[in-house]
Structure 1
Amino acid sequence: MLLLGIDLGTSSVKVSVVDAATRQCLASVSYPDVEREITARQPGWAEQDPRQWWLDVRQAILQAHATQAYDPQAIGAIGIAYQMHGLVVVDEHRHVLRDAIIWCDSRAVPHGAEAFEAIGPERSLAHLLNSPGNFTAAKLAWVKAHEPDVYARIAQVLLPGDFLALQLTGAATTSISALSEGIFWDFAEQELSEDVFRFFGFDKNLIPPVQPVFTAHGAVLAAVAEELGLRPGIPVTYKAGDQPNNALSLGVLEPGEVAATAGTSGVIYAVTDQLFVDAQSRVNAFAHVNHTADQPRLGVLLCINGTGSLNRWMKSVAGPQLSYPEMNERAAIVPAGADGLLCLPFGNGVERMLANEPVGAHLHNIDLNVHTPGHLLRAAQEGVAFAFRYGLDIMRENGLHPTVVKAGKTNMFLSPVFAQAFANATGLTVELYQTDGSVGAALGAGIGAEVYATPAEAFARMERLQTIAPDGETAIYEAAYQQWKELLLSRLQSGKKLAAQPREGDAPSGVRFVEAFLPQQ
């Protein structure tokens, strides 16, 4: 039996076909070849067209078939991983009503803040484990307030993965894990949140039927199967957000285990059996893929919006002619600490770990006689590592003290500079594995289809490729991090002063595209 995994990212869609018996990936395809753009009609906004997602999924599946590495008719189950916290709304005919408001969109922050105060911080944290922030429920509130004609036509509210499953099967479902990432779920009452639905004035009928993560979420429609060369009736047996799925793909399922990823966004994801709460909602807890009321499994998620996105931007500015491996080689020539050049990587929407303050991205201490494009490239990767350290310290404040983190050897972890900087800045030992989100989604489908008796069985043959421990340069990184942190705190304070004194002609808060890369004196 073969398993098909779909990973809906921000930049592209990746699909993999895995042999269920051997756990070997037979084919893996990403589509498109160039990164999909994010539509930003105003600063701080971020949207994508769900219909384009579906077109990309279809093309990726057909290109995977074209490798002729397997028999498409042998595919027996499908799993889906997807970018978290997005809002997709469809009408009664299941037609998309507007572009999806995706994870890094900041417009709903005021709606989330109002809900947090109205529900009450203590009750909100005790029941939701988070402030509504700019998560899916708050995004729906923005649509209700600013696009009432659209809101009136909504028949169902979907997360991005729910939408893809709907296109494949014609059936809409969701899960506690998905509802928790949208801040629709009450963990204390184990039901849809009365507080959230009452405050925002939402109808609970907008939410699809709630099912376990690992179960049949519908069967592939005959017309879709014919177009995609699949057998009709294949079940979609797994759906999860990209970060819970990344943890699953690394076998991170039990309390104390930790996963990391550094794709478009960067994440540390720690599993706990406690109903974890950060009083300022800087790091967030959601139901993990194996969460149940009897055996709680929460994923505590630290998110940095601008990791791979910063790396891509810096490449386009400092080395557009270079491949990513060549870019990493240029960065490696520069000494640790980038000769004093510091980079704040916060240029992709407001950051929850910075209390939703719009800091923007910045380069600091540029010396025109010293710093080269290689310095820019290294400073960007070190800046991301320092952002991980800053967020990890928040997790440590809340009683989480990991020593080892698992990651797939992909995205920014392909860079030796970044991987070592991450280890040195955080003090964590990094274990790199041969896996990715689409393979994890495929194996998740196998769990849902009961090919494997347990999730642990599905990942029993996972291969560790490399271990990276902090080395002799930790003192250099610690000194550089303290300078970086001082710069960040000064920018945070400056941002608060500016917010308190708005000036005529000020742009809305959000991504500072122009100011972001000017040196600060």
Structure 2
Amino acid sequence: MLLLGIDIGTSSVKVSVVDAAAQRVVASASYPETESPIISLQTGWAEQSPDMWWHQTGQAIALCHKKGGYNPEDISAIGIAYQMHGLVLVDKNQKVLRNSIIWCDSRAVEIGDKAFEDIGQEACLSHMLNSPGNFTASKLAWVKVNEPELYDKIDKIMLPGDYIAMKLTGEITTSASALSEGIFFDFQFNGLSKDVVDYFGFDNELFPVVKPVFSSHGRLTADVAAALRLNTGIPVTYKAGDQPNNALSLNVLKPGEVAATAGTSGVIYGVSDELTYDPQSRVNTFAHVNYTNERKRLGVLLCINGTGSLYRWIKNSFGSSLTYQQMNAEAEKAPTGADDLRILPFGNGAERMLNNKLVGAHLLNIDLNLHSPAHIFRAAQEGIACAFRYGLDIMRENGMNPTLIKAGKNNMFLSELFTRTFVSATGVPVELHNNDGSAGAAIGAGIGAEIFSSAADAFSNASAIDRVEPKSDSFEEVYQDWKGLLQKQINSLQP
């Protein structure tokens, strides 16, 4: 029995077909080969076309079929992972009304901050576990204020995964996990937040029907099935944001377990069974994929907007003739601390862990007679690792003290130097796994379709491929210097 997983990323769409019995990927493909564009009409804005995601989904599935090795007719369930916090708007004919305002867009920061003040800090944090900040609810409010004629045409609002499920099935659903990532969910009442809806003046009818993450979110329509060479009626049985899904793919489901990823953005994601929140909303708490009213499972999320995006910029600017593997090899030639060259990796929108400030990316202490591209490559990896440490210390303030972090051996964690530096900076061992967002979505589909008897059954064959332990050669001096430079930059932004 086969499962299809779809991962709607910022850079591309990836799909995987997983053999449920063997718990292994039999084929996978991504589209496009080059990174998808982000539309930025103004500084701090970031949009993508939902129709682009749908086109890329079809192309990725076609490429996967082309690789062969399986019969598409054996696929029995579909799961979807997606970039979090994006706003998708459709009219009554399920036609997209505008480009999606995606996760790293900063236009709604002031709207969210004012809502936090007006609704009240205690009410927001105790009920939503977060400030409305720069999340989906605030983005919808921006549309309501700035594009009122378009707003009046909205039939349903969705997150990116809800949209792809709609295109597959013709049905529009959401989940408590999805609503919580948009700051639409009240954890005290386990439903749509009356405080947020009333404050912004949203109509309850704008929100889709709420279903569990692991459940049927519709079945493949005949015309879409024919176009994708799949069977009509295949159910979509799982939808989750990319970070909860990454945690699922690493079998991070129990309180105290922690996952990390360093793709376009960088994330540490820990599971808790307590309705906790950061008083400054620098880290955020959402309903995890296995959250229920009776059994609280929360995902505490630290996000750094610019990790892989920074390293891509470094490559384009200083290593365009090199592969990432060659850049990593060059970085190893520079010493620890990169001869005092420091990089602050914060140039991809407002950073929640820095109180939604637009700090920007910075290369500091450049010595034109000393520093080479190797120094820049190393300083970039060290700067990203330092940003992870800075955020992890905030999580520690809020009671999340991991003794092990699980990560997939992909993206930045493909670099042995980055992995060692991450471990040195955080002081926490990292366990590396062969995981993948699209494969995780496929496993989620199997859980939702009850092909697996339980989540534990879904990972019965899973095992780590490597473990990296902290060493005695402390990275602390480099980190403290980096932190001091960051604080100076933050202070320079104070009015």
TM-score, normalised to structure 2, is 0.99
Aligned pairs for 1:332-343 (under 5 A) are 332-343=332-343
Shift, 1:182, TM fit:
0.2
- What amino acid is the match of 1:483? D
1:123 to 2:123 alignment = yes
Aligned to 1:493: 491
1:69 to 2:59 alignment = no
Aligned counterparts of 1:289 and 1:268: Cα–Cα separation in 2: 16
Aligned counterparts of 2:32 and 2:276: Cα–Cα separation in 1: 38
- What amino acid is the match of 1:302? L
Aligned to 2:169: 169
Aligned pairs for 1:114-193 (under 5 A) are 114-193=114-193
What are the superposed Cα offsets for residues 172-230 of structure 1, whole Å, 9 maximum, x if unpaired? 00000000000000001111000000000000100000000000100001000001100
CA RMSD of aligned residues (A): 0.6
Shift, 1:322, TM fit:
0.6
Aligned counterparts of 1:310 and 1:400: Cα–Cα separation in 2: 27
Aligned counterparts of 1:322 and 1:472: Cα–Cα separation in 2: 32
Aligned counterparts of 1:294 and 1:33: Cα–Cα separation in 2: 44
Aligned to 1:54: 54
Shift, 1:458, TM fit:
0.5
Aligned counterparts of 1:473 and 1:319: Cα–Cα separation in 2: 29
1:89 to 2:86 alignment = no
Shift, 1:473, TM fit:
2.6
SS in 2 for 1:133: coil
1:247 to 2:269 alignment = no
**Is the contact between residue 13 and residue 60 of structure 1 (CA under 8 Å) also seen in structure 2?**
yes
Aligned counterparts of 1:357 and 1:169: Cα–Cα separation in 2: 40
Aligned to 2:22: 22
Aligned counterparts of 2:221 and 2:338: Cα–Cα separation in 1: 54
1:203 to 2:203 alignment = yes
Flag structure 2 segments of 5+ consecutive residues without an equivalent.
none
Aligned pairs for 1:79-478 (under 5 A) are 79-474=79-474, 477-478=475-476
- What amino acid is the match of 1:328? N
Aligned to 2:13: 13
Aligned counterparts of 1:133 and 1:427: Cα–Cα separation in 2: 30
Shift, 1:472, TM fit:
3.4
Flag structure 1 segments of 5+ consecutive residues without an equivalent.
501-521
Shift, 1:435, TM fit:
1.0
**Is the contact between residue 121 and residue 131 of structure 1 (CA under 8 Å) also seen in structure 2?**
yes
Aligned counterparts of 1:59 and 1:355: Cα–Cα separation in 2: 39
Number of residue pairs aligned between Structure 1 and Structure 2: 495
- What amino acid is the match of 1:79? G
Aligned counterparts of 1:310 and 1:469: Cα–Cα separation in 2: 26
**Is the contact between residue 250 and residue 407 of structure 1 (CA under 8 Å) also seen in structure 2?**
yes
Which deviates more from structure 2 when the two are superposed, residues 455-464 or residues 385-394? 455-464
SS in 2 for 1:224: helix
SS in 2 for 1:380: helix
- What amino acid is the match of 1:32? P
Shift, 1:293, TM fit:
1.3
Shift, 1:463, TM fit:
2.6
Aligned counterparts of 1:251 and 1:65: Cα–Cα separation in 2: 27
TM-score, normalised to structure 1, is 0.95
What are the superposed Cα offsets for residues 431-481 of structure 1, whole Å, 9 maximum, x if unpaired? 00011111100000000000011111101211311101112332xx21010
SS in 2 for 1:333: coil
Off by >3 Å, runs of 4+ in structure 1? none
Aligned counterparts of 2:479 and 2:272: Cα–Cα separation in 1: 28
Aligned counterparts of 1:382 and 1:38: Cα–Cα separation in 2: 26
What are the superposed Cα offsets for residues 12-69 of structure 1, whole Å, 9 maximum, x if unpaired? 0010000010001000111100001111100000000000000000000000000011
Aligned counterparts of 1:468 and 1:317: Cα–Cα separation in 2: 31
Shift, 1:71, TM fit:
0.4
Aligned counterparts of 1:227 and 1:398: Cα–Cα separation in 2: 49
**Is the contact between residue 336 and residue 473 of structure 1 (CA under 8 Å) also seen in structure 2?**
no
Aligned counterparts of 1:230 and 1:80: Cα–Cα separation in 2: 16
1:32 to 2:29 alignment = no
Shift, 1:364, TM fit:
0.6
Which deviates more from structure 2 when the two are superposed, residues 283-292 or residues 327-336? 327-336
Aligned counterparts of 1:294 and 1:62: Cα–Cα separation in 2: 41
SS in 2 for 1:464: coil
Aligned counterparts of 1:469 and 1:337: Cα–Cα separation in 2: 20
What are the superposed Cα offsets for residues 402-451 of structure 1, whole Å, 9 maximum, x if unpaired? 11000010000000111011000000100000111111000000000000
**Is the contact between residue 184 and residue 196 of structure 1 (CA under 8 Å) also seen in structure 2?**
yes
Aligned counterparts of 1:211 and 1:35: Cα–Cα separation in 2: 33
Aligned counterparts of 2:33 and 2:411: Cα–Cα separation in 1: 15
What are the superposed Cα offsets for residues 214-262 of structure 1, whole Å, 9 maximum, x if unpaired? 0010000100000110000000000000000000000000000000000
Shift, 1:373, TM fit:
0.4
Aligned to 1:517: none
